[in-house]
Each structure stands twice: as structure tokens, then as C-alpha cells.
Amino acid sequence: MASFETPDAASIIDRAKNILMSPDAEWDKIDGEKPTIQSLYTGYIGILAAIPPLAAAIGGVVFGYGAMGYSFRLPLGSAIAGAIVQYILGLIMVGVLALVIEQLAPTFGGTKDRIQAFKVAAYSMTASWLAGIFAIVPALGLLSILGLYSLYLLYRGLPKLMKVPQEKALVYTAAVVVAGIVLMIVIGLLAAPFMHRGMMGHGMGL
């Protein structure tokens, strides 16, 4: 495998563009890289995962939310608290997805490899993270559905990096998505009280 260094801004942009525009070729390149989990988190994951919570916080404070003739803007403290919790949950989600990918790989004839699993989890999330920018204008929030392209990236990346036979890739992808959703719902439910408490506390303080 090729050596790997924590990427700079230019290489992160190139990677994001290439994985979206030419996923098969980029997955082949990624397959040969040898990052550490730490370098993935401090580089690509840490930066791109910040886009949705930052956009949502800015949108909530600047534009606010509205429905049925009623609108409101988030207090700055509440927006910051919510963004921090959302960011942390986003980082946890990558780890959960990676562990699911790793553990399920042998079931579908693939190779159990944690680094490969983290690479698939990290780079397949690209579309979802970038689509999160639309949260900066709540009225455009529906466009975040473009993030579903991440499911296709996951489908293309799993057989290449986890060495799952192509004929099992679709079922493997579905199993990963379902298991990941269930685990994240559990994590979200456990985190909800802390998120609500933090946002209420900051909101009342401003």
C-alpha cells in the first residue's frame, strides 16, 4: 500500500471532487493508501463532518426557521451547543459505520480489515457532508437529499476495499445501511437528553 500523510486543504478538495465525479477510479486509488484512523479523523473526516453542523447553526441564527406563518431564530448559544453535539455525533457515526462494515464483511465473503472499513465509511460520506451545506438556508434544506448519493458511493466502495464479490455488494450495502441506522438511532436517543439540556441552558443564558 502507498504511504499516507494527513492531507492539506487542496488534497481534501481533490479527493472530494474525484470521489463524487469518478468514484470507481478514486476507490481504486484509495484502496492502495495506508492511512491511520487518527489521520483520517484529523484530516478528511474532521473537516468535512463539520460542514452540516456549521451550516445548520449559521442558518438557524441568521435565517431562522418557519412554518405555518410562525418563524423563529435560534439563540447563538443554542446554535453553538447544537452544532457541537451534532458534530460529535457525526464523528461517532463514521466510527459506527466503519465497525459495521468491518464486522459484516466476512458474512458476505469479504475481508475483515478495520483500516479499509474506516476508509469506506469516511469517503462514502462525502456526498452527505457536502450536501449539508444547504442547511445554511433552511428553505433549501430539501436539497440535502442529494446526500443520498453517499449510498451509491458506499455500494461502489465496499467490493473494492472490503473484497466482497460484486454479486453480493448490493446486499452487503443494504445490511450495512440498516445496521448503521439502527445503531445511530440508539446513539441518538441516548444523546438526545444531553443535547436538549445543553441547548436549553445556552438558550436561557442569552
CA 100 – CA 193 distance, rounded (Å): 25
pTM for this prediction: 0.85
Q: Report the candidate in 72, 152, 206 with the shortest Cα–Cα distance to residue 198.
A: 206
Quote the distance between the C-alpha of residue 177 and its chain's center: 13
Distances from the Cα of 21 to the Cα of 26, 44, 156, 195, angstroms: 9, 17, 13, 36
Element (H, E) at 71: strand 70-72
Burial class (CB in 10 A: 0-12, 13-18, 19+), 59: buried
Taking only Cα atoms into account, the Rg of the chain, rounded to an integer number of angstroms, comes to 18
Neighbours of 115 (CB within 10 A): 18
Q: Could you read off the pLDDT of 180-196 as tens digits, one per residue? A: 888 878 877 776 665 55
Q: Could you read off the pLDDT of 2-22 as tens digits, one per residue? A: 555 667 788 999 999 999 999
